[in-house]
Structure 1
Amino acid sequence: MKIVFLGTPDFAVESLEALEAAGHEIALVISQEDKAKGRKAIVEKTPVKLAAERLGLPVQSVHRLRTDEDCIRRIREIAPDFIVVSAFGQILPKEVLDIPRFGAINIHASLLPKYRGASPIQQAVLDGEKESGITTMLMAEGLDTGDILLQEKLPLDRKETADSLFQKLAELSKTCIVKTLEGFSKGEIHPVAQEDEKASLTGIIKKRDGFINWNREASYIERMVRAYTPWPNAVSILPNGKTFKIWQADAVNKPDEEMLSLGKIQRGDIEHFLGDNFKEEYIPTDGAGGLFCSKNKQKLFFSTGKSFLEITELQVEGKKRMATSDFLRGYSGKAE
């Protein structure tokens, strides 16, 4: 099969490599533009572009496919059997969807129609789902609204993070897309319309989404820690004004040992950190937002709207990730 592949992040690399290994002709790889990253604003190629170059495949970067007439013309000249899309990051116009002989197929990291949109992996973890999976579908003009071709399910671990689920689903996507192209081209897989009434939508995650509202219950915040690992991380402020990320935590009803108070998050620090994104709902009430440690200074807790969050690994601004015991040895409770 002759394929034009569109993808951008690491997730899409697995499918690209699987299609190439299966003997399909990858006539063109299209990825989003290279972007400047980090404090030094170093321009980096996308993971898909790097993979295409490593595999010796023709690759093209686009800013906005919908308005890139040269790129669309190139796809039309190739006359592919399939267009395969995996986390490309743009909605394809109808004139592109109509080009391939068999159709444009999208690889989506959820069991559609649940979790359409940009962040299905994070949302599945945040909602405490017991399973997720990969869906391949015929692309339509809407956002992840096309007919389903194949679905493969995957159980979630109790401590699943977005990062671990990302890797598992990327691996699962390899077999799914190869099976889909073979079965659909032979007429063995038939499109099934999505049940729109069961659909849910996920949005683009922003850095501010990781800021913790301590009025939420501990179980939700614990899922938030896992859903936003490795980015944007669950973030909050210590009573001394320092910001910190939580890498690992557990929800506990009430600490067994006697606790020592280390203070409470200050309203002014929250307002300063959130700036224009500040909302009154982030101000801890009714005992929430208090920092405590065990009497032996080995365990760290935050009070929440319901129960406590025990933090086992964290990272204070300007420092490396550390275990709670290491943090408590150096924590004075005062701004440095």
Structure 2
Amino acid sequence: MVRVFFAGTPECAVPSLRRVACAHRVVGVLTNPPAAVGRSGKLVHSAVAREFFRLKASGVLPESASLFVPGRLDRAFYDAVEALRPDVLVCFAYGRIFGPRFLALFPRGAINVHPSLLPRWRGSTPVPAAILAGDCETGVTLQYIGEEMDAGDILAQSRVQLDGTETTGALLSRLSLVAADLVDDVLVGVERHTLAPAAQDHSQATFCGKLCREMGLADWSNPAVVLERKIRAFTPWPGLFTYKDGERIAILQARSCESSFVPLAPVGTVLAADKNGVFVQTGDGVLSLLQLQRSGKKPLFWRDFLNGSPLLLTGRLGV
């Protein structure tokens, strides 16, 4: 049985860690240090660290398994990992780039779990990128870690069909379960020496960058279909929001729709409200707002929102 060193941080990596721990031998786990959360700034362990503690307490992980939460990857860290005599690295969203000194510690290779069908959507945000692009399918790729990000040889892929209703949060949860199965299969291939790596077609590569809070500001000159995709792609973060009379309004659900309105109103204009929602003029088509949230308030469906704050959905949004 190969000796696996696992690296990951967020919740999406937890199913893979759990599967590896149950079916293979995990000698160490690497994750980011505790981070401050909420208004209190309380330090909280990463999802992977919390799962490590659960697996160890339940006896799934051996007592000898080590947890690493270094602020930086230095020589002392490398020496400690080397002492574990790992065979292979499995990495899923650890959050930092590994250098050659670290990758050289794994004689059977360093494997990355990437939630897209590489070479499409190399980079840090492949799930929202697929939603924003209106892709009909995405998936999970396991590939060797190389010098260039997400460009290593492919070991396995699993495809997932999209129906155009997915949010980033829901889709990433779904892909995390697919990833766990794929990781298990690939580690069996490592043990049996049956893997057949395939080079990526670099000419077909597409790329995605980091999200930032400012991306969530609704640009009403965008087409309605783009704004609807942004709502789903930016859920849970950064969300899509607009302003009315200086107050921030989060748009949690909406749909683009065929409009019978004459498109002469300025973009951002609230055109009407009926049983199907609140209709807002966009750069191309109309967006029907279905669920909204004022700052510091609970989410409300549009009818309840209008009952409590009727003046916030009149005139023109985004001003």
> Above 0.5 in TM-score?
yes
CA contact (8 A) 2:276 2:288 kept: no
Tell whether the 8 Å contact from 1:15 to 1:177 is kept in structure 2 after alignment.
yes
CA contact (8 A) 1:298 1:328 kept: no
8 Å CA contact 1:145–1:194 kept in 2: the answer is: yes
| Separation in 2, partners of 1:299, 1:75 | 56
Aligned residue in 2 for 1:61: 69
SS at match of 2:69: strand
Tell me the distance in 1 between the aligned counterparts of 2:190 and 2:135.
Answer: 30
The residue aligned with 1:140 is 146
How has the CA–CA distance of structure 1 residues 172 and 298 changed in structure 2, closer, same or farther, with 3 Å as cutoff? closer
- Residue in structure 1 matching 2:304, options 292, 308, 326: 326
TM-superposed deviation, 1:112: 0.5
Q: Report how far residue 224 of structure 1 moved.
A: 0.4
After TM superposition, list the pairs within 5 Å mapping 1:129-168 onto structure 2: 129-168=135-174
Q: Distance in 2 between matches of 1:316 and 1:89?
A: 32
Residue by residue, what CA displacement relative to the aligned partner does 1:222-262 show, whole Å, maximum 9, x if unpaired? 00000011111111112x32111111100012157x9xxxx
Distance 1:329 1:155 in 2: 39
Picking from 267, 279, 288, the partner of 1:288 is 267
**Structure 2, unaligned stretches of length 5 or more?**
57-64, 314-319
CA offset at residue 334 of structure 1?
A: 6.3
Tell me the secondary structure at the aligned position of residue 272 of structure 2: strand
Partners of 1:64 and 1:90 within 8 A in 2: no
Q: What does 1:161-200 correspond to in 2, within 5 Å?
A: 161-200=167-206
Aligned equivalents of 1:59, 1:251: Cα separation in 2: 47
Q: Distance in 2 between matches of 1:317 and 1:145?
A: 41
- How many Å separate the matches in 2 of 1:244 and 1:69? 49
Instruction: Give, in angstroms, the shift of residue 12 of structure 1.
Output: 0.6
Partners of 1:154 and 1:297 in 2: how far apart?
34
Deviation of 1:297 after TM superposition, in Å, equals 7.7
Distance 1:334 1:234, change over 3 A: closer
Equivalent position of 2:285 in the other structure: 307
Aligned residue runs from structure 1 range 40-119, under 5 A: 40-56=40-56, 57-65=65-73, 68-119=74-125
CA distance in 1, matches of 2:45, 2:89: 22
Q: 2:131 aligns with which of 89, 114, 125?
A: 125
Aligned residue in 2 for 1:6: 7
Please say if residues 286 and 305 of structure 1, whose CA atoms lie closer than 8 Å, have aligned partners that are also in contact: no
Q: Deviations over 1:104-147 (max 9, x none)?
A: 00010000011111100111111111111110011102111111
SS in 2 for 1:17: helix
SS at match of 1:32: coil
Q: Deviations over 1:237-292 (max 9, x none)?
A: 12x32111111100012157x9xxxxxxxxxxxxxxxxxxxxxxxxxx97101123
**Segment of structure 1 superposing worse, 215-224 or 179-188:** 179-188
Structure 2 residue aligned with 1:316: 294
Counterpart Cα distance in 2 of 1:97 and 1:185 = 19
Q: Distance in 2 between matches of 1:293 and 1:328?
A: 12
Could you tell me which amino acid in structure 2 is paired with residue 17 of structure 1? R
Structure 1 residue 71 displacement after superposition: 1.2
Q: Deviations over 1:145-199 (max 9, x none)?
A: 1110000001012211111111110000011001011113323221111111111
Q: How many Å separate the matches in 2 of 1:113 and 1:190?
A: 17
Does the 8 Å CA contact 2:265/2:281 hold for their aligned counterparts? no
User: 226, 229, 245: which is aligned to 2:235?
Assistant: 229
Give the counterpart letter for 1:301 in structure 2. Answer: F
Take 1:192 and 1:149, find their aligned partners in 2: how far apart are those partners?
A: 7
Counterpart in the other structure of 1:246 = 251
Does residue 16 of structure 2 align to residue 38 of structure 1? Answer: no
**Alignment root-mean-square deviation, CA:** 2.0
Q: CA deviation at 1:84?
A: 0.7
Q: Which moved more, 1:75-84 or 1:108-117?
A: 75-84
**Contact residue 298 and residue 325 of structure 1 kept, 8 A:** no
Equivalent residues of 1:135, 1:151 under 8 A apart:
yes
**Matched-pair contact (CA < 8 Å) for 1:291–1:300:** yes
- Cα distance in 2 for partners of 1:113, 1:16 equals 24
Matched AA of 2:281: S
How many Å separate the matches in 1 of 2:209 and 2:111? 21
